[in-house]
Amino acid sequence: MIGRGWGQGPQHSQTLHSLFAHVPGLKVVMPSTPYDAKGLLIASVEEDNPVIFFEHRWLHDIYGDVPEEYYRVPLGSAKIVHEGSDVTIVASSHMTLEAWRAAQILREEGISVEVVDLRTIRPLDTETIFASVRKTGRVIVADPDWKMCGFAAEVVSLIVEAEWEALRLPPVRMTYPDALIPTSWSLSNHYYPGSQEMVVEVLKMMGRKTSARALLETLLAGKMKTPQDVPDKTFTGPF
């Protein structure tokens, strides 16, 4: 179980997938939808190699169609959850949902965002990532982890090594700041990046600095109205 919630701070809110993905031989799974959770879990159980299956606690309140029959989602297969042509957002786990929300907001601005859900970070489906970057030339890697030595840095490195000529702008990493996860609202409300921060970065990439500045001011003004580490009033667990 990973993810933030209810002011639990660094004791229970850290995400350690980057650490495990660093170890050769381990396979690391991070679903974002109910359908993938079942299919990836079955594939993980059947896998002969050791698998670590990360579930973000906020995803336990997500509903979606799940077939009753037996099916698998292959390990090492990313999925395009939203097609676009202007900017690519590569995401995993709960950040995939934030990226999808950002894509909906940006569609109203006339900006087309492609969202790549990694589903597994080791093995990593680099071909799907590279194909999307070749199409858009702009990329944000959204990782629910710290920036320093995080998984987002690995994805950016792979993109730069393989698709340098396709890039129109430097890649952007959207991660947690390099500080311990806070417990108080006054700190945690400014700690976690989400869909609105993604929208700001995309607007900057597309040369909409004025729009980005206005959105950022609105975002900062509203940060303290409600706690940002609580999914919604109906969600109570699991912890």
Model pLDDT for residues 77-94, shown as the tens digit of each residue: 999 999 999 999 999 999
- Domain membership of residue 141 (yes or no) is yes
- Domain membership of residue 129 (yes or no) is yes
Domain enclosing residue 40, as ranges: 9-222
Helix locations, 109-208, DSSP H:
126-136, 151-163, 185-188, 195-205
CATH no. for residue 72?
3.40.50.920
Other beta carbons less than 10 A from residue 142's beta carbon: 29
Q: What is the pLDDT of residue 24?
A: 95
Model pLDDT for residues 133-169, shown as the tens digit of each residue: 999 999 999 999 999 999 999 999 999 999 999 999 9
Pull the structure tokens for residue 197. Answer: 């921060």
Q: What is the pLDDT of residue 43?
A: 98
Q: How many domains does the chain have?
A: 1
Q: What is the pLDDT of residue 224?
A: 58
Amino acid identity of residue 160, one-letter, is V
- Domain membership of residue 92 (yes or no) is yes
Q: What is the pLDDT of residue 236?
A: 53
Active site residue 17: no
CA 236 from centre of chain: 22
- Domain membership of residue 175 (yes or no) is yes
Q: Which residue of the set 12, 17, 22, 190 is catalytic?
A: 12
CA 12 from centre of chain: 19
Q: Compute and round to an integer the Cα radius of gyration of the chain.
A: 17
More confident residue, 132 or 214: 132
Q: What is the pLDDT of residue 89?
A: 98
CA distance 162 to 175: 22
Q: Is the pTM of this model over 0.95?
A: no
- Domain membership of residue 234 (yes or no) is no
- Domain membership of residue 122 (yes or no) is yes
